[in-house]
Amino acid sequence: MKILLTGANGYIGRRLLPILVMQGHDVICFVRDKRRIELEDRLIDKIEFYEADLLKPEELENLPKDIDAAYYLVHSMGSSSRKFQQMEQETAENFVKAIDTTNCKHIVYLSGISNDEYLSKHLSSRKKTESILNNAKASLTVLRAAIIIGSGGASFEIIRDIVEKLPVMVAPKWLRTKCQPIAIRNVVNYLSGIIGKEEAYGKTFDIGGPDILTYKQMLLIFAEVRGLNRYILTLPVLTPRLSSYWLHFVTSTSYKIARSLVDSMRNEVIVQNKGIEEIVPQQLITYSDAVQMAFDKIAQNEVVSSWKDALASSKINTELLEFVKVPFHGCFVDKRSSFFERDRSEVLTNIWKIGGDRGWYYWNFLWKIRGYMDKAVGGVGLRRGRRSPDQLVAGDSLDFWRVLVANKEEGRLLLFAEMKLPGEAWLEFKLSKEDGKNKITQTATFRPHGLLGRLYWYSIIVFHEFIFNGMMKSIINHQENDNLELADIN
């Protein structure tokens, strides 16, 4: 079959793609920017790309007509826009109009379990999307998932943040809500197994794992798997707004996503619409096993995708990915360079490992303070970390930065700031040769917004002299076997 895979560079799409290829399908990856997908050569040779934005109908006119089936894996929960419901409706409507011009016979949509009478805005939007997709000429199959557990997943990372950071928790009352978590492996198996099955046409299925748990039980089981003792006290007085702030400050998620999650956590997500187990039989993985499997992937550095890397979770304008040069006019620039005698590959490795658990090489405590300040005003802070300890690709999140360019051959890493700022900021590292010598150039660029932006730049310029200079030297000199804390290296 020829399959159109929307959301191919998203958390689910990246994991589903290789399975479809291995099953012998011809896959067209529908993406906004194909540079954001880092795939093995054996996959790239077997897939096609179609670059377009579902919010721009004119870009969908040349969609291939010989499509047999399609996956709709597009969600806007993490969008910085306050009109995510309108965005989801528009993208679904544009998709239906485009897919109706093709030979597509089957559409599969991954939604959320929504059996309660009163639903959150997030779950209501998913349900509305179902009804829009159902208007397509092709038959629709809806898979409504509960909480999805897998390395790099939003639910997994949020639970991990809570459990690993808080020995004693005073938590909101929604921890008593019941859910039926499902392992990412089971989700991908259902998605890949249901495509083209006529017995699933026009039907909706709930998908969940074998365990029905409260969120409190999920936290405690997670702690048990990690070998941690945790104590939880739930309070009925915390409002959804206060609960969202609590989740935002404790975890790596933004306030907007936290609010969407808290609203959804008031609804029980338990499987009611059964039947998929007869069409796609498989062994369901328990919650505790799913958590352990996720940590096994992390330990082996095999996290295929992360929810934080989706453009929908970023405030970045996708057009910025077209900038191979940072803006200059109207910008403040802090540019430093240094020659070094060390092997180029070792310095390049240090650049590629910046952020996350390694930190920013110099005065890490100040970077942490900046992260706390960012969280306090609704920003992303430093808790997003990075998908991999040593791999970067355009589109990855990196603490409170977004990777725009990651080209090892050129020795260039370009980051765009996603912390709350009165302007826009870029940080670039570039290795080059000059007079036969290796050279590193580190450039911080800030484009201020009005007077406040200019005052911000001048208020921190004195810190740049110490932080940026020390960071560049430490990137050159840092050894893998150093026993010193990076923050103490001068």
Cα–Cα distance between 456 and 441 in angstroms, integer? 24
Out of 142-156, 290-304, 471-485, the most confident range is: 142-156
Cα distances from 20 to residues 17, 67, 437, 455, in angstroms, run 5, 14, 47, 53
Is the pLDDT at 308 greater than 50, yes or no? no
Token pair belonging to 319: 């057009």
Distance from C-alpha of 454 to C-alpha of 463, rounded to nearest angstrom: 15
Give the Cα separation of 430 and 196 in Å (integer).
48
475 touches 350 (CB < 8 A):
yes
pTM (predicted TM-score)? 0.66
Which band of pLDDT confidence, cut at 50, 70 and 90, is reported for residue 440?
very high
pLDDT digits (tens, 9 = 90+) for 316-351: 444 444 444 676 666 889 999 999 999 999 999 999
DSSP notation for 32-86: S-GGG----HHHHTTEEEEE--TT-GGGGTT--S---EEEE----TT-SSS-HHH
* DSSP, residue by residue, 301-353: T-----GGGSGGG----GGGGG-SS---TT-EEEEEEEEE-S-HHHHHHHHHT
CB atoms within 10 A of CB 426: 21
Region 139-154: mean pLDDT is: 87
Report pLDDT for 36: 64
- Residue 307: band (very low, low, confident or very high) from pLDDT cuts 50, 70, 90: very low
Domain 314-488 falls in which CATH fold? Alpha-D-Glucose-1,6-Bisphosphate; Chain A, domain 4 (3.30.530)
Q: Quick: pLDDT tens for 2-27.
A: 999 998 888 888 889 989 998 999 99
pLDDT at 236 over 50: yes
Look at residue 315 in the predicted model and tell me its pLDDT.
47
CA distance 78 to 384: 14
314-488 shares the fold of 2-307? no
CA 345 vs. chain centroid, Å, equals 29
> Given a cut of 70, is residue 448 above it in pLDDT?
yes
What is the pLDDT averaged over residues 73-102? Answer: 80
- Residue-wise DSSP of 241-273: HHHHHHHHHHSSS-HHHHHHHHHHHTS-B---S
Question: Exposed, middle or buried, 365 (CB in 10 Å: 0-12/13-18/19+)?
Answer: exposed
- Considering 90-104, 288-302, 369-383, the range whose residues carry the highest mean pLDDT is 90-104
What is the C-alpha end-to-end distance of the chain, expressed in Å? 59
Q: Is the pLDDT of residue 443 over 60?
A: yes
Report CA-CA distances (Å) from 485 to 34, 136, 349, 384: 38, 58, 18, 21
Give me 244's structure tokens.
């969202």
Rounded mean pLDDT of 261-281? 83
Question: SS3 for 216?
Answer: helix
Q: What is the pLDDT of residues 199-225, one digit of tens each?
A: 999 999 999 999 999 988 998 999 999
pLDDT in tens, 166-193: 788 777 777 788 999 999 999 999 999 9
Question: Percentage of residues in the chain with pLDDT exceeding 70?
Answer: 81
Q: What is the mean pLDDT of residues 87-115?
A: 93
pLDDT at 14: 85
pLDDT at 251 over 70: no
Q: Which of the four CATH numbers 3.40.228.10, 3.40.50.970, 3.40.50.720, 3.40.50.2300 does domain 2-307 have?
A: 3.40.50.720
Q: What is the pLDDT of residue 306?
A: 45
- Each domain of the chain, given as residue ranges in start order, spans 2-307, 314-488
Q: What is the predicted pLDDT for the residue at 477?
A: 94
Rg (CA), the chain: 23
What is the sign of the dihedral through the CA atoms of 31, 34, 36 and 42? positive
Distance CA 58, CA 64 (A): 14
- Of the candidates 198, 164, 77, 167, the one whose C-alpha atom is nearest the C-alpha of residue 126 is 77
